[in-house]
Amino acid sequence: MVYPHSLAFLCFSSLLLTLLFSSEVSSSSKGATKIGQGYRLVSIEETPDGALVGLLQLNQKTKIYGPDIPLLRFYAKHETENRLRVHITDANKQRWEVPYNLIPREQPPPLPQTLGKFQKNPIEVSEYSGSELLFSYISNPFSFSVKRKSNGETLFNSTSTSSDPFSSLVFKDQYLEISTKLPKDASLYGLGENTQPHGIKLYPSDPYTLYTTDISAINLNADLYGSHPMYMDLRNNGGKASAHAVLLLNSNGMDVFYKGTSLTYKVIGGVFDFYFFSGPTPLNVVDQYTTLIGRPAAMPYWAFGFHQCRWGYHNLSVVEDVVDSYKKAQIPLDVIWNDDDHMDGHKDFTLNPKNYPRPKLLNFLNKIHSIGMKYIVIIDPGIGVNSSYGVYQRGLANDVFIKYEGEPFLAQVWPGAVNFPDFLNPKTVNWWVDEIRRFHELVPVDGLWIDMNEASNFCSGKCKIPKNTICPNGTGPGWICCLDCKNITKTRWDDPPYKINASGIQAPIGYKTIATSATHYNGVLEYDAHSIYGFSQSVATHKGLLGLEGKRPFILSRSTYVGSGKYAAHWTGDNQGTWENLRYSISTMLNFGIFGVPMVGSDICGFYPQPTEELCNRWIEVGAFYPFSRDHANYYSPRQELYQWDSVAQSARNALGIRYKILPYLYTLNYEAHVSGSPIARPLFFTFPSYTKCYDVSTQFLLGSSLMISPVLEQGKTQVKALFPPGSWYSLLDWTHTITSTGGTYVTLDAPLHVVNVHLYQNTILPMQQGGLISKDARKTPFTLIVTFPAGASEGDAKGTLFIDDDELPEIKLGNGYSSFIDLYASVKQGGVKVWSEVQEGKFALDKGLIIDSISVLGLDGNVGAVASLELDGKPLIGMSSLNVTTSEHVHLEGEGNGESKTVMVTLRGLSIPVGKNFAMTWKMG
């Protein structure tokens, strides 16, 4: 939630800041400027645990961006078979790093032990080999490279020659620079959070600035709410694909210049802490990445239902009406949200006694909880400065706030004057956990939404509460600064020598946030810790919710950092109800899957202004397949709940109808994300890494490995041109429609207003249920298994998985007595079909009474004949009164099957197979 006129605000800000800072030379415009002569390696040794530690000495002093650090310590270690770490820091002095308690990882050797005990006269070139990666270095000027051992491919190379446009290693107190060469055909993804107009693939010469900032997501190529200094590099040599990833674990502001054949980091503090992940598949990369940063949080089942929110539900009766209207319209709804309308004067952990009286709210919550619906509210980090406000008074007593010159730093957000909790302070975390507990006793919410945590501040600089003035006065916009403020420029932290391209306009880094010379716990500077603020709040909030009733937490956070997915879901912030923003949402969603934050989505129909009816139709057809699916609108926008238009309601029933049928699949993907990091929503290249046509596809996406969404993203269109990678694809709209492409092909699909094209890939078993209006009811219905073989293949295999558990439990795992995992298999061979399961921990599914009612097998050779014999666990089924067998011929829209060959779908209904018990079904065609 933020200002509804962000465009006007940003334009004004841009003009103002251009005038203010026009006298400064833009460092970004000097991307090709070389700085100094780098460092030389003066000594090196191998540590007892097999790492390399060396000393680097400066070759030549330079003054630009401040003095150089004369002596550096570099450390390289193959931490696992597929992960290499390269860490470079000041050899004499401890520097800021992302706290090891926030992202647990190995610590390099302490600095004092590494000086004065090295071998002298190092050899000019040396190699340090691991299982998958090879690290090598050149001693003067010092540079290093990382190669893939299997094929000798260079993944990272920091060498700078006279012809290169970038410098050798630069390491100053407030300016660090390093570069790598890249092959021109490498496809890069990541480096967020930003709204990328060119799609998911990084685009040479677009700006990539990483610094958590509260500006609307409508701003293109600008640093937004999160900081993820990680990229994936996908290459294809002779038809063989390989992917790797590079993480620079650094929380300071940075510009990353991607030029197509090189990539340069320019960072304003901290250390170089690189991690290289060898892949070689995109899924391997995310698995290895999340092994380091933390596996994605397990989400409760209901979180995969549909969510409705609006800033501007003025009183409880409006919320009650929204819930009733969804039910009347027969549109699924699992979760109702409040933006800050429920609060007393915008203050966290409070209720408005007039508009949201507690007795009536509790009655409402009892009513919706009884049917399985949930309720979530927003909280912002800014705590209102108010002598009668218990949350603030307890915070003050516990000394939990960020300081400036010894006093709590004063800012302004929605309540007016606020102080910001310092979540790096253990006392603050304990206080926050207690406030969550107190609030939950007041209102039994089912999750928390943490917003404005970049941190956002409506003022800049050092402020005080004005005398004889009410701030805010309640009549003007709440986002206009009304504190008495003056600029802070007196320290090098507030005005660093290198200006990152903050907000896309080189805004001062303390602009509309916490002053960067403010201090956290143990004297940590906001300058260093700024971009982990929202992350640290997520960690504290997760701890608070985990202590309530022993239930699985649900947290939605706007600001994220490396590792945030371990604690929170994310939505992509303040977007616009435009066709462009609908398209952008897909790329941002796919990026966050790569970042290890798989539970992600955008405000459906746009946050502001009002979308057109046609756009909202098309948006729910995309948003129904976001991992996190929520309609959310601005206070100043007209109402846009999905039932407001009859046509949108129809599209919502269709698209969400599919979603609620595939909830078992989505929830199983949630389990897979938690155990292996795999994204829920994925780019096509995750399944088809060798198929280069899909490397820059940003208008289609996969759920899991096999379910492809091909939506309409343009006004007035009733067809969509979709790319179909090689193989057979079957339409969810009508299982008898199939597309088979041998080498991959584009197909023009019909897509009338209420239709979204969803296709299932061959060799898959998709578990589905019958849907419903609430996930609690939908998950009790009988299962259908959809089995897909390559169209007409005489031999083929298919597989799938199904995870079922008590989703209220904090942990998602097998072996606790409250979960079941089912491997599903199928094969076709010589006219015989077999479908079977292998169940782990089947008791939970058996106790729930879950059954498989029907099995549909697609892509069978229709010239062989009908089902001749049918057995379940060795017993004949033909002749059973409940059994219904149907055969339907496939309609081939493209590729194979247009000639004489005929393929069919065989469906068996009335089976009543227990999900929690192994089964084997066989039949002969003939």
Rounded CA separation 817/759 (Å): 35
Residue with tokens 């966290």: 348
Three-state helix/strand/coil letters over 173-204:
CCCEEEEEECCCCCEEEEEECCECCCCCECCC
Counting runs of H as helices and runs of E as strands, what totals does the chain give?
Answer: 14, 54
Give the C-alpha distances (Å, rounded to integers) separating 414 from 100, 459, 727, 775, 784. 33, 12, 54, 34, 49
The residue among 665, 399, 686 whose CA lies nearest residue 521 is 399
Please name the residue that has the structure tokens 């419903």. 772
**Cβ atoms 767, 664 nearer than 8 A:** yes
CB neighbourhood size of 875 (10 A): 8
Look up residue 873 and give its two tokens. 């666990």
- Give Rg (Cα) of the chain: 29
Q: DSSP string of 288-316?
A: HHHHHH-PPPPPPGGGGSEEEEETT--SH
Question: Could you tell me which of 219, 332, 282, 229 has the C-alpha nearest to residue 572?
Answer: 219
Q: Considering only CA atoms, which of 299, 139, 286, 844 is closest in space to residue 593?
A: 286
- What tokens were used for 714? 């343009």
CB count within 10 Å of CB 371 equals 12
Nearest Cα to 246, choosing from 664, 562, 545, 640?
562
**Shortest CA distance to 704 belongs to which of 767, 755, 749, 754?**
767
Q: Can you say how many angstroms the Cα of residue 465 is from the centroid of all Cα atoms in its chain? A: 38
Residue among 214, 341, 435, 454 flagged as catalytic:
454
Contacts 24+ apart (CB under 8 A), 795-798: 795/827, 795/828, 795/829, 795/830, 796/762, 796/763, 796/827, 796/828, 796/859, 797/763, 797/825, 797/826, 797/827, 798/762, 798/763, 798/764, 798/765, 798/825, 798/826, 798/827
Kindly give the pairing relationship between strand 795-805 and strand 600-601.
unpaired
For the question of residue 153 being annotated catalytic, the response is no
CB 729 within 8 A of CB 760: yes
The answer to whether residues 772 and 792 touch, using CB atoms and an 8 Å cutoff, is no
Catalytic residue among 193, 451, 805, 861: 451
Q: Decide if 132 is catalytic.
A: no
Please state, in angstroms and rounded to a whole number, the distance separating the CA atoms of residues 612 and 544: 40
The position carrying tokens 């647990």 is 104
Q: Which residues contact 2 (CB under 8 A, 6 or more apart)?
A: 214, 216, 452, 456, 479, 574
Q: How far apart are CA 59 and CA 40, in angstroms?
A: 7
In a 13 Å sphere around the CA of 109, the CA atoms on its Cβ side amount to: 22
Set 334, 340, 341, 574: catalytic member: 574
As a whole number of angstroms, the distance between CA 297 and CA 675 comes to 10
- The two most distant CA atoms of the chain are separated, in Å, by 92
**324 noted as active-site residue:** no
Strands 228-237 and 240-248: antiparallel
Are 253 and 528 in contact by the 8 Å Cβ rule? The answer is no
3-class SS at 89?
A: strand
Residues 6+ apart with CB under 8 A from 644: none
Burial 438-467 (b: 16+ CB within 10 A, else e): ebbeebebbbbbbbbbbbbbbbbbbbeeee
Ramachandran assignment for 841, one of left (phi > 0), alpha (psi -120 to 50 degrees), beta (any other): left
Q: Active-site residues: which are they?
A: 451, 454, 574
